[in-house]
Structure 1
Amino acid sequence: MISLDQHREALNQSGVEMLSLCRKQLENARDAFFTHDSDLAEEVIRTENRVNALDLKIDRDCERFIALHNPVASDLRFVLALRKINFDLERVGDHAYGISKYIIEVDTPIEDRLLEIMRVEEMFESALSMLDDITDAYIEADAKLARKVFKKDKVLNKINMKSFKIISTEVRINPESIDQFLLLFSVIKKLERIGDLVTNIAEEIIFFREAEVVKHRKKKTFKRGKEE
């Protein structure tokens, strides 16, 4: 029978593979979006099957790890964290898939001016940078590296919050460009959601390394801030 350490390392490598695959999916979706490359968008859509298959494999392997080894302490935290990380990564892949579907089905060229004022390229770059940081944090099992993504997620949130006001203004000026605005708003929402998913992954890495549940602490801090 495979040893606990061997099984854990195999699971860990599957996690690295999933991170790399989903990061590449978003990178290709970005390139397809800015170049209107339908072939590249189709590649993202086809690769979604690999993402889904790996998602199922990791989930099954985590269940098998628990059943075979009855892990405790850090080994248990690792496998519980990996299951949640895997779930969030699969959803990152779903958003890259969704952006690519827009490119194929809508195929609406976006004015450079709109891309600039909506800061779409900055959003893509921030999301990809967050995935790079979280990959390093996962590989190094480093909670400090994981915390780096929280600040970058705020950038995505700010752009997303401003986008509705910008679109409301622009659509009154150029109602004929409504298709562009709807597409941009949809892509921006997906990128903002990817940022949320990466912060979820960061929280799981911190939980694994430090046995600390960050999301509850963040909620308490937010409530105190509102009361003050």
Structure 2
Amino acid sequence: MTVTLAEEIMLLSLDDESGATRQRQAVGWAVAGGLLLELVLAERVTVKGKYLALSDDTPTGEELLDGRLGLIGTWLRGRSKRRVTDWLTKDQAKAVGAAVERLRERGVVSVEESKVFGVFPRRRYPEADGTVERALRERLVAVVLRGAEPDQRTAGLVALLHAAKLHRLAFPDLPRGQVSARMAEIAAGQWAAESVRAAIRDMQAAMVAVTAVTVVAATG
């Protein structure tokens, strides 16, 4: 089963048994970035400098991506480009729900509904099929810990995790310092065309910017 980068990030975040989302805020930025990167790889959008532009609105055939493609087109409101940070800020909360729902549709997670204090509705998504996450973690171990050459998608995933500082989701039993240098190396490596790597660098910068603003707002 081939899942999107956004779904892979969600799988790393969801607790297998309880279905709770770990590091929810940072994960939101990474999931939104993952959807955007998929559209860059599919040559539907471009990310250059601080700006995002729609280059082709032809459906990709993946409903999760096509949903974002339509939303981006509406969000641009006829403009040729808008700031990447504005899109990530707009999409990060909704992107998580969309990615989890797609995992549920695929049968990778199930849904459990309850009420907090008997009043507030809550949904959690425990794992239903562990094969997808196991394969994902094996790929990450191979490229980050064993030095294997990453393919384009795995390198892109590592770059997103590194930008959002989600090292512990990928490697919960290892200190961040043990993996961050290798993840940074992969993110900066020659794993894709320069246009894609430039887009990744610009998206990383945007994610760092919006994350910093969020941290300041939370502590102010």
**TM-score, normalisation: structure 1:** 0.30
**Higher strand proportion:** 2
Bigger radius of gyration: 1
Give the TM-score of the pair, scaled to structure 2: 0.31
In terms of fraction of residues, the more helix-rich structure is 1
